Amino acid sequence: MIIMRKNNLLILSVLLLLLAPSVRAAGSAESRPTVDELVALFETVVFGREHGLEAYSEQIIKWDGDILIREVGKTTRRNRKILRRHTRRVERLTGLSIKYVVDATQQENMVVGFLPALEMARPPWIHGNQEFLDQLAGPRSCYFLVKNTPEGKILNSVIIANSDLDLTSIYHCLLEELIQSIGLPNDTDMLRPSIFSDRDRLARISRSDEVLIRTLYDPRMVAGLEKTEALKVARVIIAEWNSVIPLR
């Protein structure tokens, strides 16, 4: 089980800036990142250790089949529309098939739950360590949980979103949790703007984000691949995509 928590820690942000002088500032003129920069970004986002948590992976973890989503809780037409827009984009970038289930007889493998802020720590669809859930729900934005096999294949996931968020926030948080729940779980400010940076509030995937998603879901990047070998494969795939995806 991978459990991710969202934190906006000033101390951590300052530390990242000190350790990574190549950080790109949001809003600056876009230039093409180097392959080395993108490989380092891939390593951090896929294999990095989230601040304050012990759970992390030394292998590739990804979906290896259709994603079947069930929306539960305080859903609205607005939130359903936003989620569908994001999942269509993820389908195009990954090649995954993402469908929505409404029939009670159908079995989902991803639950997207919309709850008011005060109920986020006790979703009725999750039975787990309450202390962890309290930490995850603390920022009152969104969080996710993922369960995978020892071979690195994701079995199921849960995304919990604050149903009271404003339009900009719900666009961002649903996109962030969806992307992170498919195997790119960690936050970083290494290259910005990025959906993986808590300093940006993006409603769409950036160019660097697209490179990472396409790299993870390239057929050569198989679930369960160990970190050292995965980074060698990632370098080849990243070089290919970095040369063809236009600057934005």
Flag whether pLDDT at 32 surpasses 70. yes
pLDDT value at position 11?
30
Flag whether pLDDT at 13 surpasses 60. no
User: What is the CATH topology of the domain spanning 2-6+33-244?
Assistant: Collagenase (Catalytic Domain) (3.40.390)
If you count them, how many residues does the chain have?
248
Interacting residues of 57 by C-beta distance below 8 A, sequence separation 6+? 2, 46, 47, 152
pLDDT value at position 128?
77
Q: What are 228's two structure tokens?
A: 């050292």
pLDDT value at position 53?
40
pLDDT tens string 211-239: 999 999 999 999 999 999 999 999 999 99
Flag whether pLDDT at 4 surpasses 70. no
DSSP characters over 116-181: -GGGTTS-TT--S-HHHHHHHHTTSSEEEEEEE-TTSBEEEEEEEEETT--HHHHHHHHHHHHHHT
DSSP characters over 184-202: ------SSSS-TT-TT---
Question: Mean pLDDT, the chain, as a whole number?
Answer: 86
pLDDT value at position 49?
63
pLDDT tier at 56, thresholds 50, 70, 90? low
pLDDT tens string 91-122: 999 999 999 998 888 999 999 999 999 999 99
8 Å CB contact between 147 and 110 = no
pLDDT value at position 104?
85
Q: What's the CA angle centered on 12, arms 6 and 15, to 5 degrees?
A: 150
Q: Which residue has the tokens 């601040």?
A: 51
pLDDT value at position 201?
87
Q: Is the dihedral of CA 40, 45, 47, 48 positive or negative?
A: positive
Q: How many CB atoms lie within 10 A of CB 205?
A: 19
Which residues sit opposite 67 in a β-bridge? Answer: 98
- Determine the Cα–Cα distance for residues 210 and 155; give it in Å rounded to an integer: 23
pLDDT tens string 129-176: 888 899 888 888 899 999 999 999 999 999 999 999 999 999 999 999
What is the percent of the chain with per-residue pLDDT over 70, rounded to a whole number?
Answer: 85
- Determine the Cα–Cα distance for residues 41 and 54; give it in Å rounded to an integer: 20
pTM: 0.85
Flag whether pLDDT at 195 surpasses 70. yes
- Determine the Cα–Cα distance for residues 119 and 69; give it in Å rounded to an integer: 21
